[in-house]
A and B are shown apart, each in its own frame.
Chain A
Amino acid sequence: MAGIFKVKAKAKDGMTRVKMLAKHVMETGQRKDKKTGEVIPAKFIQEVTVQHGGNTVFSGQLGTAVSKNPYFSFTFAGGAKGEELSISWVENTGTSATETAKIK
């Protein structure tokens, strides 16, 4: 699966600011299909972890109230231009993936 996260990570003065946006429906499981009246099953990212050089720099447990196409931003100490971040996520359906992004 192609990556769902679009990541902008910028290193400046020894800190790296990360902005990431995922393309994901974040279906809550409370919405109904307007045509059939059936509940659309929940499908959302429930865990996201960002690692840099083997250390976790950010992680989150998400509920269904995180918006569609979730966005996160945070800043961590360290990181340099050209280094890689690895982003892992797990969906409530069990689907998971790890993606990488370069720090600029």
Chain B
Amino acid sequence: MTMHRRTVVKAMLACSALVGLGAVIPGAAFAARNKDAFSSDDQAKAMQALFDAEPANSTDIVLKAPSIAENGAVVPVTVSTEMANVESISIFVADNPTPLVAEFMIPAGTQASVATRIRMGKTSTITAVVKADGKLFSTARETKVTIGGCGG
């Protein structure tokens, strides 16, 4: 067991050596990651950090998610909207340890419709935020989780 742990530690060190190298080069190719938003444990704060504004409720966003998720580890979510000039679609789960799940950039030419699978620790509201024409819109719905997705 101890031997095994040593190899793991070694592997981790090797990995972190790569981090130093990796962080510099590919970082430039991507937009800066909003670390504050992703690490915030409060949905309102995460939204504030990400958008610097509060979204307005909208009925023009279609947020598809199951009303009851048997397995919180894999909850399929689809967000789509007919709005014009959509810049990004973000997904929040209010009661997760870090509510911001993901932020998807929608370049011109790509449809404002994204499907993914998310984790939910427990029953919570899922909020989809769409940024269109520089304005923020959101819609939310509740998904009941019978088995949490955060291990433990």
Contacts and interface: CB of A to CB of B under 8 A. Distances in A.
Contacts of B26: 88, 90, 96
Nearest to B78: A73
Given A31-B152, A59-B31, A72 B98 contact: no
B113 to A, nearest CB: 6
Contacts, number: 140
Contacts of A88: 26, 29
B107 A56 contact: yes
B23 A94 contact: yes
Contacts of A75: 110-111, 113
A70 B109 contact: no
A94 B33 CA distance: 13
Contacts of B151: 28, 30-32
Interface string B26-55: 110111011000100000000000000000
A60 B103 contact: yes
A3 interface: no
B111 A63 contact: no
Give the interface residue-count category, chain B. Answer: 35 or more
Residue of B30, B111, B152 with highest tally of chain A CB at under 10 A: B30
Interface in A1-48: 15, 28, 30-32, 36, 41, 46-47
Given A49-B29, A67-B119, A77-B110, 20 more contacts: A28-B97, A32-B152, A41-B12, A47-B30, A55-B107, A58-B106, A59-B104, A60-B102, A60-B105, A62-B101, A65-B93, A65-B120, A66-B118, A74-B111, A74-B115, A75-B110, A76-B110, A77-B109, A88-B26, A94-B20
24 contacts: A15-B111, A31-B151, A32-B152, A59-B104, A63-B38, A63-B98, A63-B102, A64-B98, A65-B98, A65-B101, A65-B118, A66-B101, A66-B119, A67-B73, A67-B149, A70-B117, A74-B113, A75-B110, A78-B109, A90-B26, A94-B16, A94-B19, A94-B23, A95-B18
